[in-house]
Amino acid sequence: MDRPFQTIALVGKYKSPEIAEPLLKLAEFLAGTGLAVVVDNLTAEHLGQHAYAELALEEMGGKVDLAIVLGGDGTLLNVARTLAPFNIPLVGVNQGRLGFLTDISIDTMQRTIAGILKGDFVTEKRMLLSASVVRGKEHIFDSLALNDVVMHRGNNSSMLEFEVRIDGEYLYHQRADGLIVSTPTGSTAYALSAGGPILHPALEAIALVPVAPHTLSNRPIVLKSQSTLEILLHCCEEARVRFDGHTFFDLQRDDKVKVARYIDPVNLLHPTGHSYYHTLREKLLWNQSP
């Protein structure tokens, strides 16, 4: 039977020299099984001399069948936003702390990945958000997000005032430190710390979570994934919109942030037997006695 993957891309945590040893061991293992190995060009800067081809993430579309990410959830978020349009499935190896997305232990990665390469895996589709900033009639910035799109005030500014519309219908006008637009994946990230609900990743939904709202009646709300959101910034001294906590854009008064579901999902591969509820119990310490 043909193996489902022939060319494997390896991506390590950005500017992390300590990832070199485990990544090169994994590359040697993969190459030893007859697979072609490609290394992300930024990761390769910390590997020293090696025998593998190098490609930028943006060049991998149509050239690799699978990307294995060594790092933490932040690393996988960055890779997912770039590779999602190319429909390249991702496997996450955890070298970070929480590891909601990068769920394979670095100590057992060779054995686990060997099973995945033989077809012993389950596929989980995660929705992304597509967001843009509109100033006047001009689209001046856009980005994707796997976790969340967050509009927030600056460190030295007062509360933001903004208006929210859903599919063109007015929802509310509020003052708050910010507003989180979250996918189910992002519901266990910033949205959770701001009091939002945990959404199972298989749900097709968007959570709207205010950050420190001025009025206690302003509560999180869960929307259908087909919704289009418009956030109009009325008053601000300093305001910024962030995408997955990494990419950002500075906003001005009367800027509009538009958010909708992105057309393509991210495909995450997990070992057979993977359980989302087990991950919640382990990462949120629900398995400890009160």
Four-CA torsion 152, 156, 161, 164, nearest 10 degrees: 0
* Two tokens, residue 117: 């390469």
- The DSSP-derived string for 153-197 is E-TTS--EEEEEEETTEEEEEEEESEEEEE-TGGGGTHHHHTTPP
**CA pair distance 107, 244, nearest whole angstrom:** 27
Q: What is the largest CA-CA distance in the chain?
A: 62
Name the residue among 89, 97, 90 with its Cα closest to residue 72. Answer: 97
Q: What does the DSSP 8-state code read for residue 119?
A: T
The reply to whether 2 belongs to the active site is no
State the catalytic residue, choosing from 40, 73, 103, 148: 73
Burial of 49 from C-beta contacts in 10 A (0-12 / 13-18 / 19+): exposed
Strands 239-243 and 148-153: antiparallel
Half-sphere exposure (Cβ direction) of 43: Cα atoms closer than 13 Å: 30
**Structure token pair of residue 162:** 């903004």
User: Which amino acids are annotated catalytic?
Assistant: 73
